[in-house]
Amino acid sequence: MSVAEDRLRSEAHRLREERDAALEAAERAERRYQELSHRVKNEFQQVAALVRLQESGSAEPERCRRCAANVTAFSELHRLLDLAGMEAVSMRDYMASLERTLGLALEGRCRFAARADEDILLPPRPAARLGIIVTEAVMNAVKHAFPEPQTGRVEASLTREDARLVLTVRDNGRGRDPASRTGKGSALISAMAAALGGETDYPQVSAGTCVRVRLPAF
């Protein structure tokens, strides 16, 4: 065997060892990530459950419901980001998840439907803030538009219009006193919209209440 061949074999052996070590390290990192992701998901679920348990004895049960709904929305966002590699989330998938989870949280108080245009992908932080806006708008509708035992429907849509994103949440309830738009839920909606560089308004509709958030495209 020539010296050159011996060197080539030695180099090939070294490269195989480095490749195997890199693959093993990647597998360990993936296992650790999956374990951490599972723990985070469980923590979200436990926090939401604990908040719901506090609802019956709380002086502000409605705030407990809002908090639990927002925690659940974060949990769904984490799940979708996990599937997407933690880079961006399909808002169509996220809105569908919010429709399911908020629908369960409302416990029959009203029907909730949500949709988004197919091509809207957002980074984690804007997606999380939009989730808060949707959750707060829906909980506002339950509180103001449908006094018990009245029920109704709330619809949320996220669309792309020219160079902007437009989120609309509308109910078919009794309508709202303009003074109620300065409550904590409405203030949080406006704050989240402003943090995204957007603006909030309440366009006139034939029935119920509509909140609209215009945002720059991301």
Domains and CATH numbers, the chain: 3-216 (3.30.565.10)
217's CB contacts (< 8 A; 6+ apart) are 160, 163, 164, 165
Regarding predicted confidence, which is higher, 170 or 217?
170
CA distance 177 to 21: 65
**Rounded to two decimals, what is the model's pTM?**
0.68
Residues 97-128 as b or e (16 or more Cβ within 10 Å = b):
bbbebbbebbeebbebebebeeebebebebbb
Are 198 and 215 contacting, i.e. CB atoms less than 8 angstroms apart? yes
Q: Residue 117's pLDDT band (boundaries 50, 70, 90)?
A: very high
pLDDT at site 139: 84
What is the percent of the chain with per-residue pLDDT over 70, rounded to a whole number? 70
Could you count the other beta carbons within 10 Å of the beta carbon of residue 36?
10
- Output the CA–CA distances (angstroms, integers) from residue 157 to 7, 74, 101, in the order listed: 64, 19, 16
Share the mean pLDDT of the chain.
Answer: 77
pLDDT at site 159: 95
Q: Residue 16's pLDDT band (boundaries 50, 70, 90)?
A: confident
Are 122 and 160 contacting, i.e. CB atoms less than 8 angstroms apart? no
Query: Which 8-state DSSP code applies to residue 181?
Result: G
List, for residues 136-159, the tens digit of each pLDDT value. 888 888 887 777 777 889 999 999
Per this entry, what is the length of the chain? 218
CA distance 156 to 98: 10
Give mean pLDDT, residues 31-52: 57
CA distance 39 to 34: 9
Paired strand residues for 121: 90
Please check the confidence at residue 69 and state whether its pLDDT lies above 80.
Answer: no
Please check the confidence at residue 121 and state whether its pLDDT lies above 60.
Answer: yes
- Six token digits for residue 106: 């409302």
Q: Residue 213's pLDDT band (boundaries 50, 70, 90)?
A: very high
pLDDT at site 56: 61
> Which phi and psi angles does 57 have, rounded to 5°?
-100, 5
pLDDT at site 192: 87
